[in-house]
Amino acid sequence: MALPLFVAGLAVGGLAVAAFNNRAKIADEFQKGVKKAKKIARKELDEALEFTQKIKRELKPQKPKRTQSTKRKRAPKEDKKDAS
């Protein structure tokens, strides 16, 4: 029962030593991955912003322009004295 745990511990320890010895190479690859992920994220964000602006323009309600004929004409106010 203890033998599998011992073998697993040896494997994990060996991997830790190998990773420690190659830490510069691992760090370089990690940095390349981070740069690539940032570039992809920026591209996707820009595309999403363009898409939302396009949708906003299409969905924005267009108010009809008021012309002289469509303006309301106010009725003259009646005097309150005459109403009594």
pLDDT attached to residue 16: 92
Which pTM does this prediction carry?
A: 0.48
Residue-wise pLDDT for 12-65, tens only, equals: 999 999 988 988 998 999 999 999 999 999 999 999 999 999 998 888 776 767
- Residue 5 — very low, low, confident or very high, per pLDDT cuts 50/70/90? confident
3-state secondary structure (DSSP) of residue 74:
coil
CA distance 46 to 41: 9
**Do 7 and 13 contact (CB within 8 A), yes or no?**
no
